[in-house]
Structure 1
């Protein structure tokens, strides 16, 4: 049976291989060329307005974001566009519920575990925050519009379906997926904004980590169907409301196991204060920062291979004691003064059974795609920590030494920094000792 084909404005013919998703606005198809997708817009929509909207999005400079940006419009009679994409991507809804009959713990691990989920969500949030930084509103974040790497070894996340991007907020043009609409959008009081995008992203993040929708507690799942509509409009308390227990959930994964304190606090601020006052709602950038920090704070279990927060004394999945650790603090260095701990750590990373890669997010405080470049790798060894330089020079000094004469270079081959006693520590510099920069303070021993 021959595949359906469409032709773009440049005359290129695209064979539609597989439908990735379908809704009221149209369908998204993977093409025979795995690095392209085609969005076919619904024939019930205003065709000329759609063509103008797609042409507007096509003109936007989105090259620095992981979004399926339009490359070419489709020729009539079709309305839609061809967009860039990655092969082997699947919708993030594949992380929301295990297949029937499969144990949750095993499935959670098989799909990459806690650390991967945190990192995938952070990367999806980076794409959304990047749109917001350009003054754009996405409008319809949901489990069908965020795609992630299929292979569990990869952590890419892309936003698709960009034909609703806009600069303005119009209640008449509000579109949302049930369960993801912010209260003010569902009620018609406001149009979409970056903070309604933040609400939808918070719903997705909470669901992907805990495996329950933040408003689908036992009151909703065991009650009348009409209650779901009330819940999705935030007219019922969310499942972890601090003072109203009516809609508690007996399902999902324990919040302390997969959220930790910082993400739980963001969820509470979003779904309690932020439900009534959008100005109290955390933005997407706050979620990105804390998702990355939470991923940094995970360690692998040597027995079951699940990842869990280092604050737990034992693996919550299997009960085996936490592995031996070294500790990495990202701090500030000032020439002549040395390490400045009073300003607080930019990041705290446990170093256990798997190597830790310090990226430009750690070493330079950058964000987005550029921040993912690895500058240094650390690996716990029996005698200490193996430090390897990547593309950027790095130096090591003993604590207490602030002079350039004490600094020695780190090479690509690497060197082992002894941690033979718990009090021993080292300072790894991401800039010359005579200039202000960030450093990694490595300490803790290997016991």
Structure 2
């Protein structure tokens, strides 16, 4: 295949700078992507095929550049790119680093991220799309191919932002979404992409990430002999049924076909499963009012991440399910080794409960509820001389006031630790936490 651009070719930018093409990265339905540099700084350059070169499309990209990215997770268009005496155009955007992997890598088990990393990715996705929608924008194509994440940390990047439009804006042409991710009303042709259809696609993506399966592919899917367009329209558009719908068992998972769903679904707390059930029951019946909001996913992801506990027998992650504990008096056994779980110490900060594992960190969010996870303010650590003693180290710039169980009060400045003992109360400044065993 002949590439549109060649190495060392110089492309003009509408901000007065120029970039030099370095190497071809890949291609897609709309155009080709290259690595290039601007003043020695690596960037990505997307160059469109001639069929995409329309005044409407160019105007759309110019509008996105002017609006600017919702946050730094979006690989957003930065400047238009043109070549002298060439009809086409493109744009530059931040370059995705190679250690970010696609969701397809997760589905094919080429990577095995922890639950913490997956929940962090889910949190960042929900938070980022909330910020995009708050700008009055619609993404249109939330799917596997447009999201990348760092498997060890869960940090995300969102690409293909040239498909973003003003919410409610009707385009003569434009992508409707990716099959299997489009909302039923988009599949059936009853609506065009908007914020509400984005919410459905986000729920599908999160379900894929956590359950490693599609939420609508159960018994009905296994009975399809020819998976053609009419079959897909029926399964995802006109007759969608959630595979774990508590009131409609017609599409429940089939053992031997949908084992990922059957294995992963029971691992998560009931409150998390209830949110997915809402997304794919009332969220299907009532697109305008029944869908799970980004803020609901965001809150749930944080709470679930804080509830992680490690099995002392096999070392794998499980979840502290407070509702189950209240109802049954004990947690379920480890999902992997089936041995009884031991609950670690925990700290209650207002209504939040954070498990104090060996690797637990607290962030400004836990104190101020502002979803700021940029810099840890506290970390669980082990006593340097006695491995049986664990503490919570103050790594914030402010001192804490600590009320010990024996009634004594002391300041714990930055760099020092407070021993993890039941009944210890820590005043972080804006709120107070109490350690429990």
Aligned equivalent of 2:106: 95
The structural deviation recorded for 1:410 is 2.4
- Residues 28 and 90 from structure 1, CA distance in 2 versus in 1: closer, same or farther, beyond 3 angstroms? farther
**Do residues 272 (structure 1) and 287 (structure 2) align?**
no
The equivalent of 1:37 in structure 2 is 44
What residue ranges of structure 1 are gaps of 5+ in the alignment? 100-109, 332-344, 432-436
Q: Select which of 395, 398, 414 maps to 2:400.
A: 395
Q: What is the CA deviation profile of residues 229-285 of structure 1, one whole-angstrom value per residue up to 9, with x for unaligned ones?
A: 322226231211122111111321435444322221111111111112121111112
Match of 2:82 in 1: 75
- 1-side partners of 2:235 and 2:82: how far apart? 42
CA 1:298–1:429 in 2, change beyond 3 Å: closer, same or farther?
same
Aligned partners of 1:215 and 1:238 also within 8 Å:
yes
Q: Distance in 1 between matches of 2:420 and 2:127?
A: 37
Contact 1:209 1:258 in 2 (8 A): no
Secondary structure of residue in 2 paired with 1:290: helix
Separation in 2, partners of 1:63, 1:240: 34
Give the distance between the partners of 2:405 and 2:338, measured in 1 at CA. Answer: 40
Q: 2:314 and 2:48 mapped to 1: Cα distance?
A: 46
1:25 is matched with: 30
What aligned pairs does 1:160-309 form with structure 2 within 5 A after superposition?
160-170=159-169, 172=171, 173=174, 175-224=176-225, 225-226=227-228, 227-233=231-237, 235-250=239-254, 251=258, 252-253=260-261, 254-278=263-287, 279-309=289-319
Q: Which stretch of structure 1 is more off in the superposition, 115-124 or 295-304?
A: 295-304
Q: Contact 1:38–1:81 (CA<8 Å) still a contact in 2?
A: yes
CA contact (8 A) 2:426 2:433 kept: yes
Matches within 5 A, 1:314-333: 314-331=333-350
Structure 2 equivalent of residue 334 of structure 1:
none
8 Å contact 2:119–2:154 — kept in the other structure? no
Of stretches 224-233 and 153-162 in structure 1, the one that deviates more from structure 2 is 224-233
- 1:443 aligns with 436
One of 403, 410, 413 as aligned partner of 2:412? 410
Distance in 2 separating the partners of 1:324 and 1:244: 36
The Cα shift of 1:148 comes to 0.8
Determine if contact 1:141/1:197 at 8 Å carries over to the other structure. Answer: yes
SS at match of 1:428: strand
| 250-259 vs 282-291, greater mean Cα deviation | 250-259
Q: Cα RMSD (Å) of the superposition?
A: 2.8
1:430 partnered with 2:428? yes
* 1:356 corresponds to which of 357, 360, 378: 360
Q: Secondary structure at the match of 2:411?
A: strand
**Relative contact order higher in (CA < 8 Å, ≥ 6 apart):** 1
Contact 2:163 2:175 in 1 (8 A): no
What displacement does 1:295 show? 1.4
- Aligned counterparts of 1:258 and 1:84: Cα–Cα separation in 2: 37
Which 4+ stretches in 1 moved above 4 angstroms?
Answer: 27-35, 171-174, 380-384, 399-402
Q: TM-score, normalised by structure 2?
A: 0.83
**What corresponds to 1:121 in structure 2?**
122
Q: What runs of 5+ residues in structure 2 fail to find an aligned partner?
A: 322-330
CA contact (8 A) 1:255 1:264 kept: no
Verify the 8 A CA contact 1:375 1:389 in the aligned structure 2.
Answer: yes
